[in-house]
Amino acid sequence: METITKTEQKLNKKSKIKMSGAEAVVKCLLAEGADLIYGYPGGAIMPVYDELYKYQNEIHHVLTRHEQGAIHAAQGFARATGKVGVAIATSGPGATNLVTGIADAQIDSTPVVCITGQVGSNLLGSDAFQETDIISISTPVTKWNYQITDANEIPEIMAKAFFIAKSGRPGPVLVDITKDAQFGELEFEYKKCKEIRSYTPVPKINKSKIKATAEIINKAKKPFIIFGQGVILGEAEEEFKALIEKADIPCASTLLGLSAIPTNHDLFYGMVGMHGHYAPNKLTNECDVLIAIGMRFDDRVTGNLETYAKQAKIIHFEIDPAEVDKNVKSDVAVLGNVKDTLSEILPLIKNNSHPIWHKKFDDLYEIEFKEVIDAQQNPTEGGITMTEVLTSLNNESKGDAVIVSDVGQHQMIASRYSKFNQTKSKITSGGLGTMGFALPAAIGAKMGVPEREVVAIIGDGSFQMNIQELGTILQTKVPVKIIILNNEFLGMVRQWQELFFDKRYASTEMTNPDFIQIARGYGLKANRVTQREDLLGAIEDMIASNESYLLEVVVEKEGNVFPMIPTGASVSDVRLK
């Protein structure tokens, strides 16, 4: 055991610097490399903001126009970079306005640290002005949270917050700091957290499970892989690609797994789920081995669990033991970070070939192409389709853009038709389905990867959820590209009303403002397209711009997204119309 001499203790004591709790918060952020943060000031967090003012050459604070914009921007930054995003807000409504984004980050495994101010500790529980028990409110939707009432706690708790947010299965952490703790004095010393007693973020790999999995895969005649965001979060893209190529296994992605491998890869057959591709949905119930990698068997992927892949042996690669056997019972569960578990299994996998099995995927793709894709990409009549817009964007971006989509029909179209050449290129709200996500998330993504083109695909309904974040673009000059697909409906809800509620369009038709005038009022270049022949040129102009740009495309009012698996139906019942 290493001993510390009295002389060393004295030196360490002398090396500690006295400072306020507020300054300690800023020093902690710098120690963690968090030099870009998003937030909105207020009374209870004012001491921290006063310190941020003094450190503005070292930390870039982005003033969003709403706290929800701050947390979504932090999410976009985290998803595009793989780093921890940071959002900061005051007490009461400032803190509660973060909750939707925190819940979104929790279900989508996004590493963010939220810092909220709180009333003085002597006022806790007194219903003081702007006091809200954010710890109790956020407990169900955070990976961890903690309330600091003593300035001396700040370095340790902040170190834990960043460690917990990023380690294992990532997620959101909230640190609530009372105002007296921010004003209080401490001797500052920061040590990065590397472990926490009783917290095991990455399960130990079971070698026998690795061997058993390899044997099943090697014997499979019709293997099929569904991969999720775990491949991206685990930085396992190369190992995953090596596995599918060595074993010649067809694969499909969940919504959040998109871009883990290039969309033009020969073994990639699209997306599974409610609006996924026809072949992978259908053949889920025909494969003999279903290999799930870094995904959680969400209900939008599985459809009716009573009929889901009952004929197949199920192998589940997963970092979070709580997800194993939660929805779908596995034959073998391989716990651990997928980068490590795939590295372990690769030497045991035999070179293989499954041409007959691949032909089934190809044949079903041809059916989908004739019935759905071609008609959407090359319509002979009617208004502009959302698919046309995405196809034109692909032609111009060459698959190199980061596509940030909101929630609704446009989200499914953007997910089905976007082309991706590199990882971390698809950012959207998955599990929570948060309308208003895309605009602030695109701001965060662009700031995180300024060298990449970032395009937000947003519906007219979703755009108005956080339209105020155009003000953030105005102030920061961040060159985000925005495409509004305007059908004057809450399109996904309207589609369900058409198909399942006899076209009773209850509260889904929208009377929209002039988006172009609004955009120009915020200092953005803007253009509107209503005719098909103007579409490609308008997208070319948008991509060519070095500034932020809003392009509104008026699309067909009552277009539908197919294929579609009706709620509660089997994946085998996927409909083409």
Active site residues: 67, 129-130, 179, 492
Q: Which helix (H) or strand (E) holds 459?
A: strand 454-459
Give the span between the Cα atoms of 253 and 263, in whole angstroms: 10
CB 254, CB 272: distance < 8 Å = yes
- CB count, 10 Å around CB of 531? 10
Which tokens sit at 366? 């041809």
- Cβ atoms of 175 and 114 within 8 Å: the answer is yes
CA 473 from centre of chain: 21
Residue type, 109: S
Q: Which of 307, 294, 315, 263 is nearest to 169 (CA)?
A: 294
What CA–CA distance (Å, rounded) separates 423 from 419?
Answer: 11
Name the 3-class secondary structure at 491: helix
Burial of 3 (0-12, 13-18, 19+ CB in 10 A): exposed
The tokens describing 135, both together, are 């710890």
The alpha helices in 449-514, defined as continuous H runs, are: 460-463, 470-476, 491-500
Dig out the tokens for 168 from the structure. Answer: 């294992």
> Where are any strands of DSSP class E within 473-524?
481-486
Q: How far is CA 560 from CA 143, 157, 394, 494, in A?
A: 37, 49, 21, 9
Check the CA dihedral 166-168-172-177 and report its sign: negative
List of residues 6+ apart from 203 with CB closer than 8 A = 319, 321, 335, 336
C-alpha–C-alpha distance, residues 296 and 133, integer Å: 31
Name the residue among 52, 45, 47 with its Cα closest to residue 119: 45
- Packing angle, helices 409-417 and 386-397, rounded to 10: 40
Q: How far is CA 11 from the centre of its chain?
A: 45
Residues 447, 72: contact at Cβ < 8 Å? Answer: no
Place of tokens 């003085």: 120
- The SS3 call for residue 122 is helix
Give the distance between the most distant pair of CA atoms in the chain: 85
The Cβ of residue 426 has, within 10 Å, a number of other Cβ atoms equal to 24
Interatomic CA distance for residues 91 and 87, integer angstroms: 13
Three-state SS for 196? strand
Residue recorded with tokens 């041409």: 355
Between the alpha carbon of residue 37 and those of residues 49, 70, 104, 177, 346, the distances in Å are 12, 8, 18, 17, 39
